[in-house]
Homo-oligomer: A and B are copies of this chain.
């Protein structure tokens, strides 16, 4: 049965809809109503006539139609009974937001989760959760998160995993900084039914999804996971963060989701064979998603780098070597174009220290002219521009990025921001994103993302 109703149902019931601000059942409804979900919404609450302007129904039976999706946010001991109502109504997809089942490990929780499973199996239902913080779809505008959300920019990035972070703090960050656009997000919770394998197959086929990110702690069936990862990675970039990869982390993962985390190196090797990219932290996960979201995939491993400081050049070169990229010499025409904005005495090489050019031609003209020259150099496959944010060097980069992307559409462009205040960093990230460049807070992180794009392209060629 398709996972589509978890993201784009025609109609949704909120079982346990609440009129009390702060309650999960209130926030879910509020997100749906205020963020523009276009389908029908049925709040289920026996004690209210209407919540947030939406007519309430006392139970599922009273609902005027069978909703395609039900979201349950009621105390754990009521979940089985409510899920039975949902099944009897004819609804076949349910997200259970309530926690306190196999995630806690107590006897009652385990017993309740077994009851839920039996109800779902007997009624041919698909379940997400329990303990799921929810799903997000920027096309249907469905948001089932139990935390307040803001409207996310639409785009190609879909990610999912065994953590509520993805539909709470991370969406807050994406809304604010807009480092990339989002297609779909799913927080899988306890995964008692829908798990990573289902999501991989679904997102591999999903037209709105151009790149997939995944956080997981353990997979039930390694062979099936590998097949799903291979299928997905053959179609679009797949980036996987495996938590619990260490001995200590594996013990913590067993405590968190009951997952047996497995051996980390075996797992990383398996992922690589499947064509996926493996990362070791959340920041790396989102760094790579941002890179892939903007693309294009570079045609080779030749980096051209520009920095306003000599240290930025040196650290770019260190990072290039560390992550396996090359820094070729430019050709004569490129040097000639750069000389137009530089003083005669300026030493020019790759990476380019543009400080002397800035003194002669100003900061914007320097990045424009030198950025274009480097990006159009025939031996260069991708461009990194490191920028130091201080008063006097803060400008809108978007027109420069647009020009460069148009002049060399087959080459990815990334920017690195060093220093500067938070609002300057945020505005710059937004502007760069809209113009088509991923933005990073450190040089090695940017180079790592570019190197992952090279690696993914190389692997896909061999498929």
A437 interface contact, C-beta 8 A: no
Of the candidates A103, A169, A172, the one having the most CB atoms from chain B within 10 angstroms of its own CB is: A169
A252 to chain B, nearest CB (A): 4
With A and B bound together, what is the CA distance between A313 and B351 in angstroms? 40
Is there contact, CB below 8 Å, between B391 and A172?
A: yes
Is there contact, CB below 8 Å, between B176 and A421?
A: yes
Closest to A106 in B: B345
A459 interface contact, C-beta 8 A: no
- A61-69, A79-87, A241-249 - the one binding chain B: A241-249
Is there contact, CB below 8 Å, between B318 and A104?
A: no
- Given A171-B390, A256-B311, A347-B104, CB of A318 within 8 Å of CB of B147: no
For A316, what are the chain B residues with a Cβ–Cβ distance below 8 Å?
252
Closest to A255 in B: B349
- Given A171-B390, A172-B389, A388-B168, CB of A422 within 8 Å of CB of B422: yes
Is there contact, CB below 8 Å, between A169 and B248?
A: no
Is there contact, CB below 8 Å, between B109 and A345?
A: yes
Is there contact, CB below 8 Å, between A164 and B246?
A: no
Q: Which of B169, B253, B320 contacts A314 (CB 8 A)?
A: B253
Is there contact, CB below 8 Å, between A147 and B283?
A: no
For A282, what are the chain B residues with a Cβ–Cβ distance below 8 Å?
311, 315, 418, 442-443
With A and B bound together, what is the CA distance between A303 and B280 in angstroms? 20
Interface of A with B (CB < 8 Å)? 22, 27, 99-100, 103-106, 108-109, 147-148, 161-165, 168-173, 175-177, 215, 217, 243-253, 255-257, 280-283, 309-322, 327, 343-347, 349, 351, 353, 355-356, 359, 388-393, 418-426, 441-444
